[in-house]
Amino acid sequence: MNKTIRQMVWERALGRCEYCLLQQTHEPLGPLQIKRIVARQHQGDDDLVNLALACLLCNSHKGTNLTGLDPDSGNITRLFPPRQNSWQDHFRRDGAFIIGGTAIGGTTVWLLQMNYVERLELRHFLLEKGEEL
Ligand SMILES: [Zn+2]
């Protein structure tokens, strides 16, 4: 992946994880990563449309998954597709919590463990500092 593509992904994402919206300046674990939304394992390529910026935790929990089990219905549900839908289509915030507003959102929140205690503590800390999340 060349430098121009990497820069375009960073700029398009406004320097935020496209799943949990954490900014690089708020990420204590390491640099945000460029990941394939559809992994090579599923014939995903390095086209700009298949790339997303993700924090370490979202990236590691998503892995090569394209779907997950909806925690409410138990149905196999696709994960949030950052290129096809906007974040607001599937998620909302309630304080430090990220809430799935659709089956896709709820499944993605659950699979990527967006409300795992350490992630909540970080978002609480940032909100108390007056940071915009
Ligand atoms: Zn994230």
| Residue 119 alpha carbon to ligand 1 centre in Å | 9
Residue given tokens 């696709």 in the structure block: 78
Confidence at residue 75, expressed as pLDDT on a 0 to 100 scale:
98
The residue written with tokens 């709820």 in the block is 106
39 CA to centre of ligand 1 in angstroms: 17
- By the 8 A CB rule, do 16 and 53 touch? yes
pLDDT recorded at residue 126: 93
> Which residues lie across from 12 on neighbouring strands?
none
CA of 117 to the centre of ligand 1 (A): 14
| Torsion region of 73: left, alpha or beta (phi above 0 gives left; psi -120 to 50 gives alpha) | alpha
Q: What is the pTM of this model?
A: 0.94
Predicted confidence at residue 45, as pLDDT, reads 93
Nearest to 114, CA basis, from 129, 93, 131: 93
pLDDT confidence of residue 132:
81
2 CA → ligand 1 middle, Å: 23
Q: Which residue's structure tokens are 């929140």? A: 109
117, 122, 98: which is closest to 108 by C-alpha? Answer: 98
How many whole angstroms from 110 Cα to the centroid of ligand 1?
13
Identify the pLDDT of residue 38: 96
> For residue 16, how far is its CA from the centre of ligand 1 (angstroms)?
8
Q: What is the distance in A from the centroid of ligand 1 to the CA of 74?
A: 24
The confidence score (pLDDT) of residue 1 equals 80
How many H-runs (helices) and E-runs (strands) does the chain carry?
A: 5, 6
Which pLDDT score, from 0 to 100, does residue 30 have?
Answer: 84
The list of the chain residues with pLDDT below 70 reads none
Q: Output the CA 120–ligand 1 centroid distance in Å.
A: 12
